Amino acid sequence: MPDTLTDPVLWSPRNPDMAQSWAKPGALTAMLRGASGRCPSCGKGRLFRGWLRQVDSCDHCAAPLGAVRADDAPPYFVIFIVGHLVIGTQIALDGVMGLSLLAEAAIFLPLTLAASMALLRPAKGATIGLMLQLGLVPARDA
């Protein structure tokens, strides 16, 4: 059992044990299936067993969904998207309406929180879908 804190994670897209054992749809299809919370491989099984915790494997096609480690990529994408939307809206509204700081805080802090929470799960699903499609699954016994 490798210690993932000290041993490097070995990505093995050509691992014969894992690479061809599940279907690989196109990247866009896999990302859309993942974003909708379905298995990126077959589109029928569930991807999540909680809000953000992914299942170990698809109950329909046995794709190793739990082995795909999206890590910090989904929050990065969410911060990037929400930051641009909220800051752009805030600047536009500030130029037109001239809101006070308190009014801006009352509008944009909850908006930022709600948008971030709403986008995090689809972003994680899409990231997992893309990673699975690209074969970015660590080898089991590396």
Toward Zn ion, which CB reaches closer, 40 or 122? 40
SS (H, E, C) the chain: CCCCCCCCCCECCCCCCCCCCCCCCCHHHHHHHHHCCECCCCCCCECECCCCCECCCCCCCCCCHHHCCCCCHHHHHHHHHHHHHHHHHHHHHHHHHCCCHHHHHHHHHHHHHHHHHHHHHHHHHHHHHHHHHHCCCECCCC
Q: How far is the CB of 124 from Zn ion (least distance, A)?
A: 16
Toward Zn ion, which CB reaches closer, 24 or 60? 60
Q: Which residues contact Zn ion by CB under 5 A?
A: 39, 41-42, 45, 58, 60-61, 63
Q: How far is the CB of 42 from Zn ion (least distance, A)?
A: 3
Toward Zn ion, which CB reaches closer, 39 or 119? 39
Q: How far is the CB of 141 from Zn ion (least distance, A)?
A: 23
Toward Zn ion, which CB reaches closer, 45 or 122? 45
Q: How far is the CB of 61 from Zn ion (least distance, A)?
A: 3
